């Protein structure tokens, strides 16, 4: 099959009722600027880690907010915390703290502390 | 009369504190590492001993450094410390010379007037009484300032004074009561016997005119003894522990012991040496620009002393090092804060008053080794060989004009160089270190080290002070690491590039990690003097401000950062210069949006000043390297 670059996305169903939003809530409580994110993608465009591997903070933000937490724990550790995303963010989201808090929240979720 | 029950509280307090200080010192000494023990022993029997004694006199008693920073605050500290010392010293002499016998118990000197009420009627005795009154007046004047400061801090020239806990408040009240109660007790006794000098004598005869002095004196002697006793008993769990701890600290520091990056009994002594004088609070930009006044080093020290969870305090800091520089006690605040950042929060036990008297240090949890690496996606690279490496750094990639200027300068110099992160490299690792994630940082350090090592270069130039600091301190590279300001300075000295003079007025802002962090102050200023008219700002060298963009702080919101940046930019551009120069891409980025004055990095200014006249190709790297540079 030839690749045209246009794929039909697989039908998906996001259930906000059953998804685990604890991590998203933990982050927004500790760092309210997380809620300001408009998912513009400036952070992903400037990302140092993204130069080496598939890593997008924009995607992570969306997934965390939806409560689709699988695999994020591993992905989020690809971040080098260099801070470029914080500087380019047009909404003033403290992205470095969002990532640190996300790591913390996963740690706590594993220990059933959140 | 040789004894009275009222001296008992004082005696209990005194013997307790002496025994406690000795015991604690022994524990501190025992817990030092072997090397530090040897250092301390050698220091104790060498010239360092004399230095320490001098420093104890100048800093613990006179408080020279506080006097220099703020004379009113310094006078307050001096009058209480030095005045009290003089009172004890001359009081002991008085009791020894004029008392019934020599070598008295301490309480005889402290309560001399009570046991010798007839003393001081005439001649030499009266003159000595005058001296004692003078010392008491000296202390009381300082105490007046202290009380004023507590209720209206601008009176002593500090914007904010430290907030206190309950035990601190009780200790403070007892300290405040000591000298007034002594004054009143002595005055009553003097009034009854018609003795005393200008202070106690006149107050005594005034009180005698309408009060039964003989009966009134006794309760005040009790109060005096009780407040002394309470103060001594509470001393170990309050900030007043700095009185014995600072003496120990001075001996240790002069013996050559440093904080390092591990918790030790030295860092514990440092934490106890903090007197909460509040100088760190006044210098902190988070305090006066962003209105955050709970996280300053004095509070960090207090939190550690009380075994509280100080994670939030430790993390909400720009790590600019201004307080470290200003601390009159010389506590190394920066490494202590880094230790707390590395600590996992579970290490803390919560506060318990009685625990305050015991040692309260918990070992760091060892790092887990079995964790999977985070950056395994970084593929091994095999870079081209080159003499000079240029590492722009993440922040420089966000400010491409700095990168382009550096490329221009490097091209003009004709050196054989390689731009290693031209297409974006890995982070240097310092941001992770600042967040207390050393294991992750180490992975990035290994990756970058390998690349640098493989290129076979002898010099590494970086545009970012953040990278520069970590390259120098944590990489253990065998190449010479230069910040681009140092590199350009060498190019100018060796006439490898030719520059024209720009008709511009420039103010230089020294970045935290380059200036205070790495001690590079002169090179950037010399370059600027070479190409422009460099103006002085109020914040030179070690006193330079932080732009507020610092990666050291994870918690600060963008609004607070902007506030710090605007305040700092306004201070720096007070003289309306043409350019606000800096040597850090992050400072440039932060200041650019905070001021209307043009903000430039040094490399941009130099690139602008580059003349196009052909410079002889300069290929001898050797002439640039260190041995030849020794005489520059």
B293 shares a domain with B190: no
Choice among B7-16, B100-109, B194-203 with the minimum mean pLDDT: B100-109
**Interchain proximity A100–B554, CB inside 8 Å:** yes
Tokens matching residue B600: 């430039």
pLDDT at B632 (0 to 100): 37
**Would B615 be classed as within a structural domain?**
yes
pLDDT per residue over B523-570, tens digit each?
A: 999 999 999 999 999 999 999 999 999 999 999 999 999 999 999 999
Mutate to test the interface with B, among A73, A82, A102 (most CBs of B within 10 A): A82
Residue at a domain's end among B343, B366, B399: B343
**Per-residue pLDDT averaged across B8-20, rounded?**
95
pLDDT above 70 (res A98): yes
Angle between the N-to-C axes of helices B400-413 and B602-609, in degrees from 0 to 180, rounded to the nearest 10: 50
Per-residue 3-state assignment (H helix, E strand, C coil) for B437-456 = CHHHHHHHHHHHHHHHHHCC
Q: Which residues of B37-49 are buried (b: 16+ CB within 10 A; e: fewer)?
A: eebbeebeeeebe
Examine the domain organization and report whether B85 and B231 are in the same domain: yes
Lowest mean pLDDT across A23-32, A66-75, B53-62:
A66-75
* Interface with chain A: mutation pick from B395, B447, B554, B588, highest number of A CBs within 10 Å: B554
pLDDT tens column, B603-614: 999 999 998 765
> Is A75 in the B-facing interface, judged by CB distances under 8 Å?
no
When mean pLDDT is compared across B14-23, B182-191, B238-247, B620-629, the lowest value belongs to: B620-629
Asked whether the beta carbons of B331 and B268 are under 8 A apart, the reply is no
* Ranges B58-62, B66-70, B304-308: which has the least confidence: B304-308
Q: How confident is the model at residue B624 (pLDDT cuts 50, 70, 90)?
A: low
Say which CATH number the domain at A53 has: 1.10.1060.10
Across the interface, which of A46, A51, A94 has its CB nearest the CB of B558?
Answer: A94
The rounded distance, in Å, linking the Cα atoms of B398 and A114 is 36
Compute the 3-state secondary structure of chain B and give helix, strand, coil in percent, each to the nearest 5.
Answer: 60, 5, 35
Q: What's the pLDDT tens digit per position in B471-489? A: 999 998 989 999 999 999 9
Residue B264 has pLDDT above 50, yes or no: yes
Q: Tell me which chain A residues have a C-beta less than 8 angstroms from the C-beta of B426.
A: 48, 52, 80
What is the SS3 assignment for B403-433?
HHHHHHHHHHHCCCEEECCCCCCCCCCHHHH
What's the Rg (C-alpha) of chain B? 30
**pLDDT of A86 higher than 60:** yes
Look up residue B438 and give its two tokens: 């050393």
Residues B487, B628 within the same domain: yes
If one counts the domains in chain A, the total is 1
Domain contains A79: yes
- Gap between the Cα atoms of B313 and B298, Å rounded: 10
Residue B629 has pLDDT above 70, yes or no: no
Q: Is the pLDDT of residue A2 over 80?
A: no
Phi, psi (deg, nearest 5) at residue B581: -95, 145
**Which are the contacts of B88, defined by CB distance < 8 A and separation ≥ 6?**
B109, B110
In a domain? residue B364: no
Q: Are residues B161 and B207 in the same domain?
A: yes
Does residue B284 fall inside a structural domain?
A: yes
The first and second tokens of residue B427, run together, are 């982070």
Does B556 fall in a domain? no
* Chain position carrying tokens 């929060």: B345
How far CA B114 is from CA of A103, B176, B189, B211, in Å, comes to 67, 21, 7, 18
Q: Is residue B362 part of a domain?
A: no
Q: What CA–CA distance (Å, rounded) separates A33 from A57?
A: 15
Expressed as residue numbers, the domain containing A55 is 22-110
Domain identity same for B401 and B477: yes
| DSSP for B589-615, written as a single string | HHHHTT-SSEEEEHHHHHHHHB--SPP
Task: Provide the residue count of chain B.
Answer: 632
Is there a single domain that holds both residue B233 and residue B261? no
Same domain, B126 and B192: yes
- For residue B166, the model assigns a pLDDT of 82
- Cβ–Cβ gap B394/A48 under 8 Å: yes
Residues B160 and B221 in one domain: yes
Give the end of a domain, one of B343, B370, B401. B343
d(CA B362, CA B432): 24
Q: Do A84 and B559 touch (CB under 8 A)?
A: no
Q: What mean pLDDT, rounded, does chain A reach?
A: 87
Backbone phi, psi, residue A73, to 5°: -55, -40
For residue B245, being part of any structural domain is answered with no
Chain A residues with CB under 8 Å of B586 CB are: 87
Tell me which residue of B624, B556, B547 sits closest to B583, measured CA to CA: B547
Kindly state whether A66 is in contact with chain B, defined as any CB-CB distance less than 8 angstroms. Answer: no
3-class secondary-structure state, position B123: helix
- Higher-confidence residue of B503 and B350: namely B503
If asked whether residues B157 and B298 sit together in one domain, one would say: no
B572 min Cα distance to partner chain A (Å): 22
Nearest to B528 by CA among B546, B495, B505: B505
Provide ipTM, 2 decimals. 0.88
- Domain assignment present for residue B412? The answer is yes
B228 with B265, same domain? no
Confidence of residue B158 (pLDDT cuts 50, 70, 90): confident
- pLDDT mean over B372-382: 84
- Return the structure tokens found at B224: 């005096």
Better-scored residue on pLDDT, A69 or B8: B8
pLDDT score, position B630: 40
Inter-chain touch B398–A46, beta carbons under 8 Å:
yes
Residue A38 lies in a domain: yes
pLDDT for B578 equals 96
Nearest-CA distance B57 → chain A (Å)? 46
pLDDT in tens, B67-77: 999 999 999 99
Nearest of B322, B280, B326, B328 to residue B301 by alpha carbon? B280
Residue B435 CB coordination number (10 Å):
23
What are B389's strand-pairing partners? B418, B460
> By mean pLDDT, which of A30-34, A66-70, A93-97 is the weakest?
A66-70
Over residues B318-330, mean pLDDT = 94
- Sign of the Cα torsion B519, B522, B527, B531 reads positive
Which pTM was predicted? 0.89
How many structural domains does chain B have? 3
Model pLDDT for residues B403-435, shown as the tens digit of each residue: 999 999 999 988 889 999 998 889 999 999 999
- Helical pair B213-234 and B200-208, crossing angle rounded to 10 deg: 130
Residues B71 and B104 in one domain: yes
Give the separation between CA B94 and CA B111, rounded to whole angstroms. 11
**Alpha-carbon distances of B359 from B25, B62, B309, B356, rounded to whole Å:** 11, 30, 17, 7
> Between A55 and B367, whose confidence is greater?
A55
How are beta strands B417-419 and B388-391 bridged, if at all? Answer: parallel
Position B568 in a domain: no
What does residue B514 show for φ and ψ, rounded to 5 degrees? Answer: -85, -45
As a whole-number percent, the residues of chain B with pLDDT over 90 amount to 66
Q: Band of the pLDDT at B631, cuts 50, 70, 90?
A: very low
Contact check, Cβ <8 Å, B559/A100: no
Confidence band for B313, pLDDT divided at 50, 70 and 90: very high
Q: Which CA distances in Å does B248 have to B17, B44, B88, B234, B255? A: 15, 11, 21, 19, 11
pLDDT score for B143:
95
The minimal CB distance from A97 to the residues B423, B427, B555 is found for B555
What is the pLDDT at residue B613? 60
Whether residue B209 has pLDDT greater than 80 = yes
Per-residue pLDDT band for B345 (boundaries 50, 70, 90) equals: low
For residue B457, the enclosing domain spans: 387-537+575-632
Point out the domain boundary residue: B237, B270, B300: B237
B518 and B468 in a single domain? The answer is yes
Tokens of A18: 């059953």
């Amino acid at each position: 099959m030839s690749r045209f670059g246009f794929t039909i996305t697989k039908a998906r169903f996001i259930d906000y009722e059953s998804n685990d939003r604890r991590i998203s809530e933990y982050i927004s409580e500790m760092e309210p600027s997380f809620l300001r994110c408009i998912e513009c993608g400036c952070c992903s465009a400037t990302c140092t880690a993204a130069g080496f591997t598939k890593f997008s903070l924009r995607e992570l933000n969306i997934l965390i907010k939806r409560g689709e937490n699988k695999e994020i724990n591993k992905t989020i550790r690809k971040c080098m915390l260099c801070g470029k995303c914080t500087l380019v963010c047009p909404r003033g989201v403290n992205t470095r703290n969002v990532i640190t808090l996300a790591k913390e929240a996963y740690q706590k979720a594993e220990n059933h502390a959140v | 009369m040789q004894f009275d029950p009222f001296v008992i509280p004082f005696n209990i307090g005194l013997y307790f504190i002496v025994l406690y200080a000795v015991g604690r010192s022994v524990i501190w000494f025992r817990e030092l590492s072997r090397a530090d023990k040897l250092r301390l022993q050698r220091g104790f029997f060498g010239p360092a001993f004399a230095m320490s004694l001098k420093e104890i006199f100048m800093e613990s008693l006179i408080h020279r450094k506080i006097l220099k920073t703020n004379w009113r605050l310094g006078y307050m500290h001096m009058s209480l410390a030095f005045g009290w010392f003089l009172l004890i010293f001359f009081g002991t002499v008085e009791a020894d010379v004029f008392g019934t016998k020599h070598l008295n118990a301490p309480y005889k000197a402290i309560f001399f007037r009570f046991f010798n009420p007839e003393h001081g009627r005439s001649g030499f005795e009266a003159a000595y009484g005058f001296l004692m009154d003078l010392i008491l007046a000296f202390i009381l004047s300082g105490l007046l300032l202290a009380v004023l400061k507590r209720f209206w801090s601008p009176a002593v020239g500090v914007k904010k004074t430290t907030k206190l806990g309950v035990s601190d408040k009780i200790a403070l009240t007892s300290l405040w009561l000591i000298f007034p109660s002594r004054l009143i007790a002595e005055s009553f006794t003097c009034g009854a016997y018609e003795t005393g000098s200008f202070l106690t004598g006149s107050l005594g005869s005034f009180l005698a005119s309408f009060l039964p002095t003989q009966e009134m004196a006794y309760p005040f002697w009790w109060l005096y003894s009780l407040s002394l006793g309470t103060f001594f008993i509470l001393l170990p769990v309050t900030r007043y522990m700095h009185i014995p701890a600072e003496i120990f600290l001075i001996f240790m520091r002069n013996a050559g012991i440093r904080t390092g990056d591990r918790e030790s009994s030295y860092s514990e002594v440092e934490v106890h040496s903090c007197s909460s004088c509040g100088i760190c609070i006044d210098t902190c930009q988070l305090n006066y620009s962003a209105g955050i006044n709970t996280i300053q080093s004095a509070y960090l020290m207090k939190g550690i002393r009380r075994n509280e969870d100080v994670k939030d305090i430790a993390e909400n800091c720009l790590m600019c090092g201004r307080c470290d520089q200003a601390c009159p006690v010389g506590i190394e605040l920066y490494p202590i804060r880094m230790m707390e950042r590395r600590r996992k929060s579970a290490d803390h036990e919560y506060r318990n008053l009685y625990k305050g008297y015991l040692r309260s240090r918990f070992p760091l949890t060892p790092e887990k080794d079995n964790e999977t690496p985070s950056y395994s996606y970084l593929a091994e690279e095999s870079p081209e060989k080159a003499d000079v490496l240029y590492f722009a750094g993440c922040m420089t990639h966000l400010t491409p004009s700095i990168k382009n200027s550096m490329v221009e300068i490097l091209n003009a110099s004709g050196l054989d160089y390689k731009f290693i992160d031209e297409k974006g490299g890995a982070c240097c690792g310092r941001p992770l270190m600042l967040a207390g994630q050393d294991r992750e940082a180490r992975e990035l350090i290994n990756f970058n080290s390998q690349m640098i090592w493989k290129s076979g270069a002898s010099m590494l130039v970086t545009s970012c002070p953040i990278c520069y600091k970590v390259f120098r301190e944590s990489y253990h590279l065998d190449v010479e690491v230069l910040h681009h300001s140092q590199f350009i300075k060498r190019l100018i000295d060796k006439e490898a590039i030719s520059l024209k003079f720009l008709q511009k007025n420039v103010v230089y802002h020294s970045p935290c990690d380059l200036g205070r962090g790495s001690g590079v102050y002169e090179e950037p200023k010399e370059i600027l003097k070479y190409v422009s008219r460099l103006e002085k700002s109020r914040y030179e060298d070690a006193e330079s401000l932080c732009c507020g963009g610092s990666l050291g702080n994870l918690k600060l919101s963008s609004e607070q950062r902007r506030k710090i940046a605007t305040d700092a930019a306004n201070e720096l551009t007070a003289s309306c210069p043409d350019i606000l120069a800096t040597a850090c891409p992050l400072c440039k980025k932060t200041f650019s949006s905070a001021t209307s004055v043009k903000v430039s990095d040094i490399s941009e200014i130099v690139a602008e000043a580059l003349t196009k006249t052909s410079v002889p190709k300069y290929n001898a790297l050797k002439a640039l390297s260190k041995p030849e540079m020794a005489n520059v």
